[in-house]
Structure 1
Amino acid sequence: MRRATSLGCMTDNRARLDHVVLWVGDPVAAAAFYERTVGLEPLRLSEYADGKAPFPSVRLNEETILDLMPRSIAPGMRMVPGAADSSGHPVNHVCVALPQEGFDALRSRLETDSVPVSALSYDSYGARGEARRSFYFRDPDGNVFEARHYD
């Protein structure tokens, strides 16, 4: 995965996915997994460690991040009724689409780090039509990810 190093001024206001919040046991360990194994850029790690941010994040691309929310704060979640009950109930899966080289590199890193991966699927339907190949893996907190490429 390519790391985003700077963000330009976003003037395009089309609808898009901004972030996904994942419940994790240890946000620092989760950030390390996403950086080392998945290849994502960690954000706000030092601020989190210093108590200045409630959670760190990792950058998927220029427009999308994954927030690594500690399960320990679930009892304080008040944005909507029942929000705290979502702790420990990850979504079915989050899918990331990559260029073919990034897809192959991710699978290789996961295998090198002994992260179990599923068999390859072919021609699975997604946001851009049929993806050439895809596979699934879990992060250390049990969140399921699908990786795919359309090229």
Structure 2
Amino acid sequence: MKETHLDHVVLWVNDPLASVEFYEKTVGLTGERVAEFAEGKVPFPSVRVSARSLFDLAPLTMAGSMNAIPGAEGTAGHPVNHVCLAMDRAAFEALHGRLRESGVPVSPYSHNSFGARGAAPRSFYFRDPDGNIIEARHYDE
């Protein structure tokens, strides 16, 4: 059976370039199509979560056009509860440190939270500049 994986999540943002900067510098992800967005050639930039998944950083100004998708009327611009990033322990600890150094509030650690790979020893939550809630977690390898 072929594996199904998460391709992308659309996060609504006020300033896509500022969001790219946050996700690159603070979270440690890599921007995609940033120059093309700045030049007006593509409608939004993205940040790469893994080799197979992205966060699309869609400007809220696009929300109205999303209502044209069959079955999606009225859903554009609504936030999700949170998105979870899983990483190894070293990357988890480095992210926690970068967030704190950048003055981004982080939640206390949660322990043994259930996720796609079972119970994660530790996780925490933070908000991006647009209020999207991101959970970070690591699993024992």
Q: Shift in Å at residue 14 of structure 1? A: 1.9
Q: Structure 1 regions of 5+ residues with no counterpart?
A: 1-11
1:122 alignment partner in structure 2: 111
1:60-79 aligned within 5 A: 60-77=49-66, 78-79=68-69
Q: CA separation in 2, counterparts of 1:40 and 1:108?
A: 15
1:2-151 aligned within 5 A: 13-77=2-66, 78-83=68-73, 85-87=75-77, 89-151=78-140
Count of matched residue pairs:
139
What amino acid is aligned across from residue 35 of structure 2 in structure 1? S
CA deviation profile, 1:32-85 (whole Å, cap 9, x unmatched): 000000000000011001111000000011011000000011112212344454
Q: Structure 2 regions of 5+ residues with no counterpart?
A: none
TM-score by length of 2: 0.94
Greater shift in the superposed pair: 13-22 or 111-120 = 13-22
Q: Shift in Å at residue 86 of structure 1? A: 2.6
Percent identity between matched residues is: 54
TM-score by length of 1: 0.88
Tell me the SS of whatever aligns to 1:97: strand
Q: CA separation in 1, counterparts of 2:102 and 2:113?
A: 26
The 8 Å contact of residues 86 and 137 in structure 2, kept in 1 or not, is answered as: yes
